[in-house]
Amino acid sequence: MTTATSPAVRPTGERRRIGSLVWHVGAILVLAVVLYPVIWVLGASFKPSKDIIASLDLLPGEPVWANFSGLADGISGISITSFFSNSLMYAGLAVVGVVLSSSLTAYAFAKIRFAGRNLLFTLMIGTLLLPYHVLLIPQYVLFRNLGYIDTLVPLVAGKFLATEAFFVFLMVQFMRGLPRELDEAAKLDGCGHLRTYWSIVLPLSRPAIITSAIFTFINAWNDFMGPLIYLNTPSKYTVSLGLMMFRDQEGISNYGSMIAMSLVALVPVIAFFMAFQRYLIDGMATSGLKG
């Protein structure tokens, strides 16, 4: 496993150099496999539709823009921007909801000593293990009875009500790590909990909040089952469902545009990832958060 310490009698300098070479070859091989699909979609989006499946080349022979300009026509009379603005609305509301509700809840768990705190905390952790599917049907019935089918309400209500226990947990862990002296000093200075939360704990919890916000954005942007179940009108569709419309038409002539839109749909996620990967990876490592 550890190529660096092979039991050799070679001089250490050479040994280290060979070890390093083997290491990089191994890492680059894995990297090639991991990045292949991403580079493939990048190349395919510039290929003529007929070449996308048939051509083995990773990059297009002669790049064409037709796939992207084809996107401007939209699909079934709905413009692509409509899907994107719907997704943006969903993801934006989700971020606001999760950050607000989870940080308030986490503050209570981490900083306020109230009766029943431990019991409620256990309950909250318990919801982490519960398969989501057991709630799917009754939640659907509930939102249907309330008349919220075909709106964003069912998709974001849970985010405003701190049901994403992962994020609450992440923030609790972080807030517990903040020096207690700070909020004690605030208390002595006459700050109430609201003030302490808003001016001291919340700003200091920025890393945990950013992690939660970015994960929430990406999860909402990628979400497929939620919109599939709750949205019916194509003009309200998110990007995921818009992509499905492309696919269900199954016109090979449109294959290029479908791949181009797939690429465009990945852009926000990849951009967020590149900008915040340190937070995301560390957040993942400390809490086992799922992407």
Partner 1 sequence: MTLVKEAPARPAEKRSAAPAAGRRGRRRENLAGYLFMSPWIAGFLLLTAGPMIASLYYAFTSYNLFTPPRWVGLDNFTTMFQDPRWQKSVQVTLKYVVVATPLKLLLALGVALLLAQKRRGQALYRAAFYMPSLIGASVSVGFVWRALFSDDAVVDRTQKIFGLDVGGWIGNPDYVLYSLVALSIWQFGAPMVIFLAGLKQVPQELYEAAEMDGAGPFRRFWNITLPMISPVLFFNVLLESIHAFQVFGSAYVVSDTRCGPADATLVYTCYLYQKGFKEAQMGFASAMAWTLVVAVALVTAVLFWSQKKWVHYEEAAK
Identify residues 231-290 at the interface with partner 1 (CB under 8 A).
239-240, 243-244, 247-248, 258-259, 261-263, 265-266, 269-270, 273, 277, 280-281, 284-288, 290
Identify residues 82-101 at the interface with partner 1 (CB under 8 A).
100-101
Distance set, CA 91 to CA 88, 104, 146, 215, 223 (Å): 5, 20, 23, 10, 9
Q: Which range touches partner 1 (CB under 8 A), out of 2-10, 64-72, 83-91, 203-211? A: 2-10
CB of 40 to partner 1, least distance (A): 7
Contact flag: residue 71 with partner 1 (CB under 8 A): no
Q: Which range touches partner 1 (CB under 8 A), out of 59-67, 72-80, 84-92, 162-170? A: 162-170
CB of 199 to partner 1, least distance (A): 15
- Residues 200, 116, 289, 91: is their CA dihedral positive or negative? negative
Q: For the packed helices 80-111 and 153-160, what is the interaxial angle rounded to 10 degrees?
A: 20
Interacting residue with partner 1 among 48, 68, 92, 127 (CB under 8 A): 127
Interacting residue with partner 1 among 31, 59, 72, 271 (CB under 8 A): 31
Interacting residue with partner 1 among 18, 41, 64, 89 (CB under 8 A): 41
Contact flag: residue 77 with partner 1 (CB under 8 A): no
**Per-residue contact track with partner 1, 208 to 227, x per CB under 8 A?**
----------xx-xx-xx--
Q: For the packed helices 255-287 and 206-222, what is the interaxial angle rounded to 10 degrees?
A: 150
Contact flag: residue 189 with partner 1 (CB under 8 A): no
Interacting residue with partner 1 among 64, 139, 151, 200 (CB under 8 A): 139
User: Could you give the CA distance from residue 228 to residue 249 in angstroms, rounded to a whole number?
Assistant: 17
User: Could you give the CA distance from residue 208 to residue 286 in angstroms, rounded to a whole number?
Assistant: 11
Question: What are the backbone angles phi and psi of residue 206, rounded to the nearest 5°?
Answer: -50, -45
Contact flag: residue 104 with partner 1 (CB under 8 A): yes
CB of 72 to partner 1, least distance (A): 19
**What is the largest distance, in Å, between two alpha-carbon atoms of the chain?**
76
Interacting residue with partner 1 among 94, 108, 186, 213 (CB under 8 A): 108
Interacting residue with partner 1 among 11, 12, 54, 203 (CB under 8 A): 54
